[in-house]
Amino acid sequence: MLNVVMKVPVHGQGLYDISHRVRRIVDESGVNEGLVTLFVRHTSASLMIQENAAPEARADLQNWLNRLVPERDPLYTHNEEGPDDMPAHIKAALTAVSLGIPLMSGRLVLGTWQGVFLWEHRHGPRDREIVVSVMAYR
Amino acid sequence: MLNVVMKVPVHGQGLYDISHRVRRIVDESGVNEGLVTLFVRHTSASLMIQENAAPEARADLQNWLNRLVPERDPLYTHNEEGPDDMPAHIKAALTAVSLGIPLMSGRLVLGTWQGVFLWEHRHGPRDREIVVSVMAYR
Amino acid sequence: MLNVVMKVPVHGQGLYDISHRVRRIVDESGVNEGLVTLFVRHTSASLMIQENAAPEARADLQNWLNRLVPERDPLYTHNEEGPDDMPAHIKAALTAVSLGIPLMSGRLVLGTWQGVFLWEHRHGPRDREIVVSVMAYR
């Protein structure tokens, strides 16, 4: 078993591919059959498994979500942390905070077109934290 | 290992903080390194990890979701259980039914601002059930 | 421990009940206390726990999501795989790619009205793959 706190530096909204970093942790664990759990320690960023090939698909996804959850909506009363804060909480609520990915023969069972991403919902640069747990089956 | 069925009494729509109850189950389990899985046994309530400090953020989240998924939408044909029933199913579909939270050194790896909530989507009082599983790594 | 790759043939959009197939895998595993993890290996289909009794509820859910994420939205730039492709990615992003369901006394802890579904978001016939992991607690 291995618990790793992974720091992901971000420079604003968007999908950051962390697949290779998760794979490296799995390789180092030496676990063949098991379960990887990812958990993001924030309420304004998400975990996302999405299309890893077409960058247009990821751009469309970001633009669609920005239109669904716009900034400066008169509905918001929680404004003190900036116009991107409340939309970020809503976006996080609609997406995943944790993901479970089985391991078979030492590999994540991701499909061919699936990448693992941190989805940052705020504008500024930050260091985000994701806990990666690798658990062996017996 | 410990499987606990937690009953959560609710009195209508809203986010109910269950963080302290989950922590107590973790403490009683004596597990230090492991995985906690939460599962809600209903199709009109969700699990949510969200901002634990600002009540305005939770109110905005509730109001935003109510606007996205209103009652008495002419699209609905499943009406026999009341006007809050079909919106509750849709809200549950857009949010989480299960959450995996790693344990490190006997503590949930929640971030500073993260609380664990039951999100009730219906109006009336009810007892909801959440299964809390605490699994030790070897 | 048991890792099974389950193939689910689909013939277009909709919710496909896989509860009985997951239960059969659990029965064959012989595990009594543990955790089942489901993972869908695609970015245009989801896993969904929903109402298993009323087909109208599932039809309303499908129609509501189709209205929220319509085809031929001028926002989309990723169009080369057909008009149902980009909406399918967005729908998958809003719903679950993995689910954790605890096992107690050899049974999934699903509530009375909860079924486990593959939610197909594209129109054509396909074979979808879901990995089912059954892990025993000690």
May I ask the CATH class of domain B2-106+121-136?
Answer: mainly beta
With beta carbons under 8 A apart, name residues in chain B contacting C35.
Answer: 35, 37, 133, 135
- Which residues in chain C come in under a pLDDT of 70? 1, 138
Q: Locate tokens 């050194």: which residue? A: B105
For residue C95, the 8-state DSSP code is: S
Per-residue pLDDT at B1 exceeds 90: no
ipTM score for this prediction: 0.97
Indicate the pTM of the whole model. Answer: 0.98
Q: Please state, in angstroms and rounded to a whole number, the distance separating the CA atoms of residues B87 and B66.
A: 8
DSSP states of B14-33 as a string? EEEE-HHHHHHHHHHHT-SS
- For B46-94, the pLDDT digits (tens) are 999 999 999 999 999 999 999 999 999 999 999 999 999 999 999 999 9
Q: Which of A39, A64, A90, A137 to mutate to test the interface with B (most CBs of B within 10 A)?
A: A39
Strand-pair partners of A135? A35
Q: Please state, in angstroms and rounded to a whole number, the distance separating the CA atoms of residues B99 and B48.
A: 8
Between B35, B67, B102, which is nearest A75 by CB?
Answer: B67
CA–CA distances in Å: residue C75 to residues A57, A75, B109, C47: 11, 24, 38, 26
pLDDT score at B24: 97
A→B interface, C-beta within 8 Å: 1, 3, 5, 35, 37, 39, 41-43, 68-69, 73, 75-78, 86, 89-90, 92-94, 96-100, 129, 131, 133, 135-136, 138
Per-residue pLDDT at A138 exceeds 90: no
pLDDT score at C138: 65
- Sorted by sequence, the CB contacts under 8 Å of residue A114 that are 6+ apart come out as A49, A50, A51, A52, C41, C42, C43, C97
Quote the distance between the C-alpha of residue B121 and its chain's center.
10
Architecture of the structural domain at A2-71+81-136: Sandwich (2.60)
Per-residue pLDDT at A80 exceeds 80: yes
Secondary structure E strands in chain C: 2-10, 14-17, 34-40, 45-51, 98-104, 107-108, 114-120, 126-136
Q: Are C129 and C45 within 8 A, CB to CB?
A: no
Under CATH, which number does the domain C12-70+81-136 receive? 2.60.120.460
